[in-house]
Structures are given as structure tokens and as C-alpha cells.
């Protein structure tokens, strides 16, 4: 009898969708996602799973040993089936398109706005935006060290 893993297809469909656009819709070999309970990898034949995503990077490989495509996501959800992974992200952007100078400027501006906010209610969305930008900064640092 053949090993169960050897009978599985080696690719599955990845759909990465943000409110602005469908960033990816193609067959891939492997995806690593930033789940709120920890990172998790997905390959063809994965058991069904639903997970919330935290701010972080999605690493997509089209084939073994292929260069990875790295995409920053700001929250969202992952829906995994044996043949498909659907990522619904609040925001998604290729890490290669992020610019550290622009992120640093945005961090400074948000700190200034938080400091003059009238109360915690007014500061809350600013703090959330700051967390997203800081996660983008961290994703750039991660890519440079990889």
C-alpha cells in the first residue's frame, strides 16, 4: 500500500485577499502564516483549519527550494482546506514595496498624535495604526536578516 503522503498532490490553491485587491490566486507548494497562536505552515492535504492572523509576514513558496515571496499582512483570517488556503487580510502588501524611511516618518507622526490625543478613546485607533507600522518595520528587518 502506498504511503498516504505520496498520494497527495504537491500543490494547493492560495487566495490572498485584502479589501483593496486580490493579491494572489494561484497554485503554490507551501505557505507559512502568522497565526495569533503562532506561525503555522500549510501544504497540500492540510487538515481543515480556521485561524485568526496577527500582524506579520506570509511566506509563499511556489516549489521546494524556490525563492520565497514575502507579504506583510495586518490581521485577518486564514481558512485552510486540503486543497485551498484563503487568507482574508485587513491589509496586505509585498514587503519588497515597503520603505523604511516612510515607515519611520509615519511612526514619528503617530507618536506625536498620540501624545496630543484628548483621551484613551481618541488614542486607541492611533495606537492600532502604530502597531501595524511597527510590525511593517519588523518585517523589513526580518527580510534583511534572512
Cite the beta strand spans of the chain per DSSP E.
12-17, 22-28, 30-35, 38-43, 49-53, 56-61, 69-73, 76-81, 84-89, 92-94
pLDDT at 3: 47
Positions of the chain with pLDDT under 50: 1-8
Q: What is the reported pTM?
A: 0.86
- Write the pLDDT tens digit of every residue in 13-33: 999 999 999 999 999 999 999
Amino acid at each position: 500500500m502506498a504511503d498516504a503522503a505520496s498520494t497527495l498532490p504537491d500543490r494547493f490553491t492560495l487566495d490572498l485577499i485584502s479589501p483593496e485587491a486580490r493579491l494572489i490566486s494561484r497554485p503554490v507548494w507551501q505557505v507559512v502564516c502568522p497565526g495569533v497562536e503562532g506561525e503555522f505552515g500549510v501544504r497540500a492535504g492540510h487538515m481543515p483549519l480556521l485561524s485568526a492572523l496577527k500582524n506579520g509576514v506570509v511566506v509563499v513558496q511556489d516549489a521546494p527550494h524556490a525563492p520565497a515571496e514575502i507579504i506583510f499582512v495586518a490581521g485577518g483570517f486564514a481558512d485552510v482546506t486540503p486543497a485551498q488556503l484563503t487568507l482574508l487580510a485587513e491589509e496586505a502588501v509585498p514587503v519588497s514595496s515597503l520603505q523604511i524611511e516612510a515607515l519611520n516618518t509615519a511612526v514619528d507622526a503617530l507618536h506625536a498624535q498620540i501624545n496630543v490625543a484628548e483621551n484613551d478613546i481618541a488614542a486607541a485607533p492611533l495606537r492600532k495604526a502604530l502597531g501595524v507600522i511597527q510590525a511593517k518595520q519588523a518585517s523589513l528587518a526580518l527580510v534583511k536578516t534572512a
